[in-house]
Amino acid sequence: MPQNKQIQLDNRPQAEATVSNFKLVTADTPALQDGQVLVRHHFLSLDPYMRGRMNDSKSYAVPQPLGQVMQGGTVGEVVESKNAKYAVGDKVVGFGGWQQYSVVNGDQVGALRKVDTTHVPLSHYLGAVGMPGVTAWYGLVKIIEPKAGQTMVVSAATGAVGSAFGALSKARGCRVVGVAGGPDKCKYAVEELGFDACIDYRLHKDAASLSKALKEHCPDGIDGYFENVGGIVLDAVLSRMNAFGRIALCGMIAGYDGQPLPLAYPQLILTNRLKIEGFIVSEHMEVWPEALKELGTLVGTGKLRPRETVAEGIEAAPEAFLGLLKGKNFGKQLVKVI
Amino acid sequence: MPQNKQIQLDNRPQAEATVSNFKLVTADTPALQDGQVLVRHHFLSLDPYMRGRMNDSKSYAVPQPLGQVMQGGTVGEVVESKNAKYAVGDKVVGFGGWQQYSVVNGDQVGALRKVDTTHVPLSHYLGAVGMPGVTAWYGLVKIIEPKAGQTMVVSAATGAVGSAFGALSKARGCRVVGVAGGPDKCKYAVEELGFDACIDYRLHKDAASLSKALKEHCPDGIDGYFENVGGIVLDAVLSRMNAFGRIALCGMIAGYDGQPLPLAYPQLILTNRLKIEGFIVSEHMEVWPEALKELGTLVGTGKLRPRETVAEGIEAAPEAFLGLLKGKNFGKQLVKVI
């Protein structure tokens, strides 16, 4: 059996997460039992939600257990199979974690999904045509329910979720404005992702300043907002929401280290009759087929051209993950482990 | 024509509203034109939303104009009619404002509604079987969508909205817990209104203390919350909401004087996948017939026994209104003007 390097959670962050929270372990992969397959991972997915799971507090997900492999999405290839549904060479998406190989029960519903790499590169099944893409789809289609001509805004606009949100909004005839960190990301959002405008939040020291920029780029106000960040971005957007606006609350990365993140004027929810809804996409598996079909088509036809930042080798995962939390990545953050 | 005393808004509050913001004016009532009716008011309704309209800021309603009669709901009797639809003696609900008489175009849709006082006292059409009752109904039925066995919480529990919310929740098989100010109100909520428990917020100096009390009285967590108040009550309730809980945001009376009212942990909306929705009942006229029918039955059968605080005479309206904003009323605050 091949040797399997893996990254485990060794201890929980006190405030900011650091590389010392993780440890690298090498083990043999166990012999397969009937029904199991051995998957060799090509890419690991790094996602902001993982930071929340590193804490031991009440969250929407069970905390990541200590001393076990970090959980997360993976794409790879079946290299050994004792399950008639999977053949060696099949390309599969799964939830194999931060390691080189995983042993999966092929009969468990949802554990593995075979994918076609003719028109969509394998790695995109962890991004635009995977969980982040479906996340954008659910927030836009099921919570925001956009109408053509309305104005949509998304924070972390060039990330895996934000870039899918932009393409999905444009496909529905909306104006879409991004919020991102730095001139390169903003340029990319407009020139490559098709955003109508993108605001560099680093140029704004407070919510009032950001609110002015939003007014400039959203002259008809904001009808839908997809929130990945929280903090002053949310305060600023709230001040520009139109009556009956909808906010899909997907992430509040600004508060992942435990700092308070108060919402300054909740009265605006009332005066503008807004709807705010938090969600986690894995609780809505019923929409995945429809969402993945649209996202696959957008990528296959070049209407969504997601960018990726790829770290090399399993050992690079912790550092790459911490960079993601600081916005150092550009587009979907992956780790290539083959 | 009869003399008509009225209360006008003379100037806008700087922070807290005071009696000096109002002035009493006496005028003749004009001669009726074809299609008009003259209504003699029996009761004026005083409601928290009026405070928001006294400000000149962006709100869900057009600001109350200066130098004009304070707007508001009224019940009364037709005393003169040049409209075939209305006869002298008809009891009517309208929006006649803080005055003794109003001249109404009887053909304008929604301007007047004839009511039956056989089983429901006229004044209740301003409370439980009127706008406040429908407000409770809309928040509960359309936003919270309760299921039997779930736990509902409402702030300002003994007010016109809160007491209707309690009866409507019980009718749906829910546990319902109120939050109110002072032991008398809490006793009334449990003994007369049928709440399962009522928490006196005055005994709690901060959200953490109130959260403990909520835990005690909501052992299975909170599934639905109807918000009239804002501030630490909202913070405390958020900390006890179950996954997929719903919050109907109807009022934030704690912030009506312009003080900041930040929400401490908006992250909870995400981690518990909550839905928060602001609304104003006058934008949902389509539900009024269904809601009024249920509310009328609850009152007619004694299942909802709303209490009223009645100020005597039009001159008493400003003082009574300021008392309402401080929670000095007990149940629906009315002014008797006949």
Number of Cβ pairs < 8 A linking chain A and chain B: 98
Cβ separation A273–B278 shorter than 8 A: yes
Q: Is A146 among the domain residues? A: yes
Same-domain check for residues B168 and B264: yes
**B277 and A CB contact within 8 Å:** yes
pLDDT band for position A59 (cuts 50, 70, 90): low
Choose from A277, A279, A280 for mutation: most chain B CBs within 10 A: A277
A109 burial class (0-12, 13-18, 19+ CB within 10 angstroms)?
A: exposed
Same-domain check for residues B87 and B171: no
Same-domain check for residues A40 and A92: yes
Cβ separation A261–B266 shorter than 8 A: yes
Same-domain check for residues A322 and A227: no
CA–CA min distance B240, chain A (Å): 12
The C-alpha atoms of residue A43 and residue A35 are separated, in whole angstroms, by 24
Cβ separation A267–B274 shorter than 8 A: no
Q: Is B321 among the domain residues? A: yes
For residue A255, list chain B residues with Cβ-Cβ distance below 8 A. Answer: 267
Cβ separation A270–B250 shorter than 8 A: yes
Same-domain check for residues B240 and B323: no
Torsion of CA B160, B162, B165, B166, to 10 degrees: -110
**For residue A158, what pLDDT is reported?**
93
Instruction: For residue B79, give the CATH number of its domain.
Output: 3.90.180.10
Are the C-beta atoms of residues A140 and A165 closer than 8 Å to each other?
yes
Same-domain check for residues A161 and A225: yes
Instruction: Please write down the HEC assignment for all residues of A224-282.
Output: EEEECCCCHHHHHHHCCEEEEEEEEECCCHHHCCCCCCCECCCHHHHHCCCEEEECCHH
Enumerate residues 6+ apart whose C-beta is below 8 A from B278.
Answer: A269, A270, A271, A272, A273, A274, A275, B249, B250
User: What's A1's DSSP letter?
Assistant: -
CA–CA min distance B269, chain A (Å): 6
The rounded Cα A191 to chain-centroid distance in angstroms is 21
For residue B270, give the chain A residue with the closest CA.
A278
Enumerate residues 6+ apart whose C-beta is below 8 A from A79.
Answer: A38, A39, A40, A88, A101
Q: Which two tokens stand for residue A243?
A: 């009556």
CA–CA min distance A268, chain B (Å): 9
Same-domain check for residues A119 and A149: no
Same-domain check for residues A260 and A316: no
Are the C-beta atoms of residues A149 and A174 closer than 8 Å to each other?
yes
The C-alpha atoms of residue A324 and residue A332 are separated, in whole angstroms, by 9
Q: Which residues pair with B296 in a beta bridge?
A: none
For residue B250, list chain A residues with Cβ-Cβ distance below 8 A. Answer: 270
For residue B234, give the chain A residue with the closest CA.
A266
Q: Which two tokens stand for residue A54?
A: 């590193």
Same-domain check for residues B135 and B254: yes
Last residue within a domain, chosen from A249, A265, A282: A282
Are the C-beta atoms of residues B48 and B324 closer than 8 Å to each other?
yes
Same-domain check for residues A136 and A122: no
Q: Which residues pair with A241 in a beta bridge?
A: A222
Q: Is A41 among the domain residues? A: yes
For residue B60, give the chain A residue with the closest CA.
A271
Q: Is B289 among the domain residues? A: no
Q: Is B22 among the domain residues? A: yes
**For residue A58, what pLDDT is reported?**
60
The rounded Cα A182 to chain-centroid distance in angstroms is 19
CA–CA min distance A172, chain B (Å): 24
Q: Is B290 among the domain residues? A: no
The C-alpha atoms of residue B39 and residue B50 are separated, in whole angstroms, by 22
Nearest to A274 among B251, B260, B278 (CB): B278
CA–CA min distance A25, chain B (Å): 31
For residue A264, list chain B residues with Cβ-Cβ distance below 8 A. Answer: 260, 262
User: What's A319's DSSP letter?
Assistant: H
Same-domain check for residues A122 and A238: no
In our burial notation (b when 16+ CB lie closer than 10 A, e otherwise), range B209-229 reads: ebbebbeebbeeebbbbbbbb
Nearest to A249 among B230, B243, B269 (CB): B269
Over its length of 338 residues, how does chain B's per-residue pLDDT go in tens digits? 689 999 999 999 998 999 999 999 998 998 999 999 999 999 999 998 899 899 887 656 679 999 999 999 999 999 999 999 999 999 999 999 999 999 999 999 889 999 999 989 999 999 999 999 999 999 999 999 999 999 999 999 999 999 999 999 999 999 999 999 999 999 999 999 999 999 999 999 999 999 999 999 999 999 999 999 889 999 999 999 999 999 999 988 777 666 778 999 999 999 899 999 999 999 999 999 999 999 999 999 999 999 999 999 999 999 999 999 988 888 899 999 99
For residue B251, list chain A residues with Cβ-Cβ distance below 8 A. Answer: 270
**For residue B15, what pLDDT is reported?**
86
Q: Which two tokens stand for residue B311?
A: 């100020």
Are the C-beta atoms of residues A325 and A253 closer than 8 Å to each other?
yes
Same-domain check for residues A80 and A208: no
Reply yes or no on whether the pLDDT at A265 is more than 60.
yes
Cβ separation A264–B267 shorter than 8 A: no
Total number of domains constituting chain B: 2
Q: Which two tokens stand for residue A200?
A: 């560099």
Q: Which residues pair with A27 in a beta bridge?
A: A4
For residue B249, list chain A residues with Cβ-Cβ distance below 8 A. Answer: 266, 269-270
Torsion of CA B173, B174, B179, B184, to 10 degrees: 30
CA–CA min distance B50, chain A (Å): 13
Q: Is A76 among the domain residues? A: yes
**A207 and B CB contact within 8 Å:** no
Cβ separation B276–A275 shorter than 8 A: yes
Q: Which residues pair with A277 in a beta bridge?
A: A248, B275
- Range(s) of the domain holding residue A20: 3-127+307-336
**For residue B112, what pLDDT is reported?**
95
